[in-house]
Structure 1
Amino acid sequence: MTASPSFRLVFAGTPEAAVPSLRALHAAGHDIAAVVTRPDAPQGRKRVLTPSPVAVEAERLGLPVIRAARLDDDATSEIVALDADLGVVVAYGGLVREPLLSAPAHGWINLHFSLLPRWRGAAPVQHALIAGDDELGTAVFRLVRELDAGDVYAQAPVPLPDDATAGEALAVLADAGAEQLAGVVAAIADGSAVAVPQSGEPTPAPKLRLEDGALDWTQPAGRILARWRGVTPEPGAHTTVGGGRVKVLRMERAPGAPGLAPGETASSKRGVLVGTRTDPLLVTRVQPSGRGPMDAADWLRGARDAVRFGA
């Protein structure tokens, strides 16, 4: 059942992963009173102030935009004055606290990119891939004071390619989650929505740091590849070579490749073979410090000295 356009929403989101949800709610005919997003941020080498992807989409749709780094007293007063029926959060990047949490008539809901209660926190997709989870998914739940702990309206696994990076997986989950979210909002609007408590042991998914992207070539190939997938593109996978840092932009398995010691490299037509505790992996794209992205094979050919990863 399609919700009545008179159902009044406030939408809070910032990155590209939140854009499909904003589009879905707008297409469903809801009255989106305002879109809350983080302020314009410097991007690129020239540090040009750039609006968030959600801000760009909101302005394209002709929706009012509230830019707020956090939901402080000023932002809270502005949002409360909108008299919304429901607040919707998708990767906004800030916490919704009282009195704002209770301001909308139906409270706030959140689209989360995991199967709750597994991976509560800011980086659920990244942690799921690093851990080698067999199944990823999305959940829509009611916001409460405790982080990602509210009752769940809907959740479902989402099929993903076996080699998907966190960025690629998030794009698929964002599209699937937008449809799920729109369905939950429609159900809340018509009074048919039912939320159930989360069941199981929670696991934390804190924001990743730069050092979380370091690849340890003494680990088995599967674990290294899982970490590479989980930290790509953010915070970015990297290794040390000759004391400098090299970003590993693309990597895959190398079936049938000759054995190499951990960190030892060998040239290949398609890139650089790197030894692990088990089978070698094939690095096909790199970015040395201070340079742009390049084919790993070209980079290895241009190296003056023997290359060893992790040294």
Structure 2
Amino acid sequence: MRLVFAGTPGVALPSLRALLDSPRHEVAAVVTRPDAPAGRGRKVERSPVAALADELGIEVLTPAKAGDPDFQARLRQIRPDLCPVVAYGALLPESALSIPRHGWVNLHFSVLPAWRGAAPVQAAVRHGDDITGATTFRIVKALDAGPVFGVITERVRERDTSGELLDRLAESGAKLLLSTVDGIEDGTLRPVEQSEENVSYAPKVTVEDARLDFAGMPAAALDRVSRAVTPDPGAWAEFRGERLKLGPVAPVDEEGLAPGEVRVERKRVLVGTATTPVALSDVQAQGKKRMAATDWARGVRIGAGERIS
């Protein structure tokens, strides 16, 4: 089939490569978000999907909005049979959805109808789900509510960060998306309407969502939240009035620390919580490089009773 692939971040690349490698399909163009500032220097960069397309000589479409008339006119000229989507990052109006003959098919990183929305993997880790997965479905006007073509499942490991889990789902999901496109082409796959029972939503994670409240949260919740927001936007708290970026924290089966109180040991740094302490992994103070928590603690010379809040 003639395809136009829509995606933006690196997590979309395994799916794009799988479609490019398939002898059955032609990726005529890609749709991605416009170039944007990235990194510490805020240099304007191409999205990972655009960069790969540039390297391979594939046409790149970067509309500010998918409702842009010029973009839709060009899409009609390309005449795609189907538009596969992975983490594109923008809403698709009905005027765009109607252009490809077989519509737009999205690879979403949850087992729908659980965790519809922008951050399904982060939600699965934050809420302590044992199983998550990926779903392919036809895009409709309602958010992630279209009929389902296929599903895979994936166990959430005990120390998974959202980044690690998403990397695995991106690889296994690419195979699911390719098999979905194959099935649509040969007519063997028919979508099944989603249940409207047990629907849950996963909105975009904000920086404030990533703050660790050592005084108000138990160790188990701090563990899940810190892993859910790693690597993006990254967990943080405050120490001596400044923001302190934190890697995932791990519960420790000990007692004796007040909420937020820091204790430095030879091989670990513990912080009290609303229940039992947690151990810090890595730390990044403002203007400093990321380092092991023990190295940070020795450098700042933490006094008795000092707290992270």
Give TM-score, length-normalised by structure 2: 0.94
Q: Which of 17, 21, 25 lines up with 1:27 in the alignment? A: 21
1:176: which partner in 2? 172
State how far apart, in whole Å, the 2-side matches of 1:160 and 1:128 are.
Answer: 8
Matched, 1:17 2:15: no
Q: Tell me what 2:295 maps to.
A: 298
Query: Aligned-pair distance for 1:153?
Result: 0.4
Percent identity at matched positions? 47
What is the CA-CA distance between 1:8 and the residue it aligns to?
Answer: 0.5
Contact 2:130 2:155 in 1 (8 A): no
Q: Cα RMSD (Å) of the superposition? A: 1.4
Aligned residues: 303
One-letter identity of the residue aligned with 2:60: V
Hey, what does 2:42 align to over in structure 1? 47
Q: 2:136 & 2:190 partners in 1: Cα distance?
A: 11
Q: Does the 8 A contact of 2:108 with 2:134 survive in 1?
A: yes
2:145 maps to which of 138, 143, 149: 149
What CA distance in whole angstroms lies between the structure 1 residues aligned with 2:8 and 2:288?
29
Matches within 5 A, 1:1-311: 7-29=1-23, 30-71=25-66, 72-199=68-195, 200-217=197-214, 218-255=216-253, 257-306=254-303, 307-310=306-309
Q: Which amino acid aligns with 1:114?
A: S
1:55-97 CA-partner distances (Å, limit 9, x unpaired): 1222233321112232122222211221110011100111111
Which range moves more in the overlay, 261-270 or 23-32? 261-270
Deviation at 1:161, TM superposition (A): 2.7
After alignment, is 40-49 or 76-85 more displaced? 40-49
Separation (CA, whole Å) in 2 of partners of 1:126 and 1:132: 10
CA drift at 1:304: 4.4
- Structure 2: how far apart are the matches of 1:304 and 1:163? 29
Maintained 8 Å contact 2:114/2:200: yes
Q: Kindly provide the amino acid, as one letter, of the partner of residue 253 in structure 1.
A: P
Give SS of 1:245's match: strand
**Distance in 1 (alpha carbons) for counterparts of 2:85 and 2:277:** 42
| Offset of residue 39 of structure 1 | 1.6
Contact 2:227 2:248 in 1 (8 A): no
Give the Cα–Cα distance (whole angstroms) in 2 for the partners of residues 233 and 68 of structure 1.
Answer: 28
Deviates more, 1:273-282 or 1:185-194: 273-282
Q: Deviations over 1:131-165 (max 9, x none)?
A: 11111100000000001000000112113432111
Alpha-carbon distance in 2 for matches of 1:13, 1:145: 18
Query: How many angstroms does 1:128 deviate by?
Result: 1.4
TM-score by length of 1: 0.93
CA distance in 2, matches of 1:160, 1:56: 31
1:302 is displaced (CA, Å) by 1.8
Distance 1:166 1:17 in 2: 12
Distance 2:40 2:271 in 1: 31
Q: Distance in 2 between matches of 1:222 and 1:271?
A: 18
Could you tell me how far apart the structure 2 residues matched to 1:269 and 1:62 are? 54
The Cα shift of 1:103 comes to: 0.7
Secondary structure of 1:11's counterpart equals: strand
Query: 1:4: which partner in 2?
Result: none
Structure 1 range deviating more: 96-105 or 301-310: 301-310
AA aligned to 2:284 is: Q
Cα shift readout 1:104-135 (whole Å, capped 9, x = no counterpart): 01011100001101111111111111111111
Q: Which one-letter code corresponds to 1:9 in the other structure? A: L
